[in-house]
Structure 1
Amino acid sequence: MTDQRRTEKGLWWDRAYYLVHGCQARSPECLNCWSAQMAVQRQANPNEAVAARHEGITTGTHFNGRIHLDRDALVKPLKVRRPQTWAVWDDLFYGDERDRRGCEFQRTPFEPVPFEFIDHAFANMIAANWHTFYILTKRPERMRDVVCQWEHVTRLSMSRYGHICLGTTAGTQKSADENIPLLLETPAAVRFVSMEPLLEPVDLTQFYTVWDKPGAHVRTWTQGIDQIIIGAETGPRRRPCNVEWVRDLVQQCDAAGVRVFVKALDLDGRVSKNMAEWPADLRRREYPR
């Protein structure tokens, strides 16, 4: 579990596991990408190694499809003995057909994250089993295909590794409808959905299995979503996030027995990560069981 002090700040991870630098926008959630903005800043870093990892991966303030792989970072978790929660950035599964077309449009080289690099990353995460890893992607179709290929090649099962959490983004109804079914088809012990930034009301009930019994109405989450992370957009160009959208999702999670982590709320145009300022029913920062 993430350090309590970071959880209190609305952070669900302890450390960044930066394996891929670079990406390209996929959906409305990407408009104000914090990682792209950080990459622009790091290009001017006086540390030449840091600057080199981010060179050429942005155009203006946005990612342009060019990526750099940080092979030296692969072993980093193995050198940290204290149990930590690691967030894998940027997108380990970058490189699907939409990315190829995007690179052609932007006239940048198309270099997908290769299978052997992902395999090496998985091997290190499996070996560092005292840590917890969150792998978040906006490319759940490629994640599903790569994980299935990895299971076939290695004859291992991702569902054995409860410290490796696979997730996708769903900050709009369209993203939820497209991404969550693909996540549910992906072999995993723990699955999560990041609804940050939450940009509109989202109905997840289609992903429930519902049984009506005499005197009872029972809902369970189809095939296993273990955690939903919800948050208002942050930053100077943030878009609004109605508290009622968050409340509705929390209620949906409760109905399905899914853990929920509310990262930040939009309180009258001000982003708050301090739960003491929030309505009592939204003070929820839970981790998968």
Structure 2
Amino acid sequence: MGDRSTIEWTEATWNPTTGCDRVSTGCDNCYALVLSRRLKAMGVAKYQTDGDPRTSGPGFGLALHPDTLDIPRQWKAPRMVFVNSMSDLFHAKVPLEFVQQVFQVMAETPQHTYQLLTKRARRLRRLADELDWPSNLWMGVSVENADHLDRVDDLRRVPAAVRFLSCEPLLGSLAGLHLDGIGWVIAGGESGPHHRPVSEEWLIHLRDACKEGQVPFFFKQWGGRTPKSGGRELIGATWDEMPPRLSATAH
């Protein structure tokens, strides 16, 4: 994880923390949990902290990595950077002071555009006033089904330059979703040996809601046994819409 990423909607990953705990059904087949077990077995230093077996697993206990904070400063060419692809910065065990340090690094590297995603939208909202928000940060929440639409309401109260939704894995209809204050939507099906199917109807409804609200829509994958099993076309087209990149000025 680092200078290059195979994730379709980003270019690099940066993990100042690793590890997490299950919070909802979208976590059931977590790719990061599976990968962390492999990395632990390989002896990778960042993945030697074990988590609670009821909510986490081997190598996936929450761990802070202050030694990684300078990594984005070493990347001179602009990158789209997914922050914490292997963790959640708003996990309860991540101190506010460390979150502030991560935000400071983002503000001090305006050549990059950062994408930060969380399922812990309530803590995100509660900490928002304690953070200096740079305009090169896109803040998102995961919304896998209608049970978690409250995360969108929390996100709307955060002063991010771009607020986005990751509806992946999409596990149910989001028919009650309103996109006021939202600047981007990612959608996709689940992948892996235990993947749960995604409905074309759910995806088309999301696409239509984005079209009506003039919100960029990105369809990542149908999913299946592997991420690329079902391809990326939805109703005969590839949807790679994204917000424009912005330069960083704290506000």
Q: TM-score range by the shorter chain?
A: 0.7 to 0.9
Deviations, residues 168-211 of structure 1 (Å, cap 9, x unaligned) = 010100112x2000000111111000000000111244x3xxxx
Show the counterpart of 1:232: 189
Which residue of 202, 221, 240 maps to 1:285?
240
- Aligned with 1:127 (options 108, 124, 135): 108
1:240-288 per-position Cα deviation (integer Å, ceiling 9, x unaligned) = 0012211111001101111111000258x9954644x54225x211111
Q: Distance in 2 between matches of 1:54 and 1:270?
A: 27
Distance in 1 between residues matched to 2:141 and 2:21, nearest whole Å: 16
User: Following the alignment from structure 1 to structure 2, what is the Cα–Cα distance between the partners of residues 200 and 271?
Assistant: 21
What corresponds to 1:145 in structure 2?
A: 126
Query: 1:54 deviation in Å?
Result: 3.2
1:14 Cα deviation from its structure 2 partner: 1.2
How do residues 64-213 of structure 1 correspond to structure 2 at under 5 angstroms?
Answer: 66-89=61-84, 90-95=87-92, 112-151=93-132, 158=133, 161-176=134-149, 178-205=150-177, 207=178
Partner SS, residue 171 of structure 2? coil
Q: Percent of aligned pairs with the same residue?
A: 29
Asked whether the 8 Å contact 1:10–1:262 carries over to 2, the reply is no
Q: 1:54 aligns with which of 21, 24, 48?
A: 48
Determine helix, strand or coil for the equivalent of 1:193. strand
Task: Kindly provide the amino acid, as one letter, of the partner of residue 241 in structure 2.
Answer: E
CA contact 1:202–1:249 (8 Å) conserved in 2: yes
Give yes or no for the alignment of 1:38 onto 2:35: yes
SS state at 1:40 partner = helix
C-alpha distance in 1, partners of 2:146/2:129? 27
CA contact (8 A) 1:36 1:61 kept: no
> What stretches of structure 2 of length at least 5 have no aligned partner?
245-251
Contact 2:187 2:218 in 1 (8 A): yes
- Relative to total residues, which structure has the larger strand share, 1 or 2? 1
Question: Where in structure 1 do 4 or more consecutive aligned residues deviate above 6 Å?
Answer: none
Secondary structure in 1 matching 2:36: helix
Bigger radius of gyration among the two: 1
The 1:93/1:231 distance shift into structure 2, 3 A limit, reads same
- Aligned pairs, how many? 239
Q: TM-score, normalised by structure 1?
A: 0.76
Q: CA deviation at 1:66?
A: 3.6
Structure 1: state its 5+ residue gaps.
96-111, 152-157, 208-220
Structure 1 residue 116: deviation in Å?
1.1
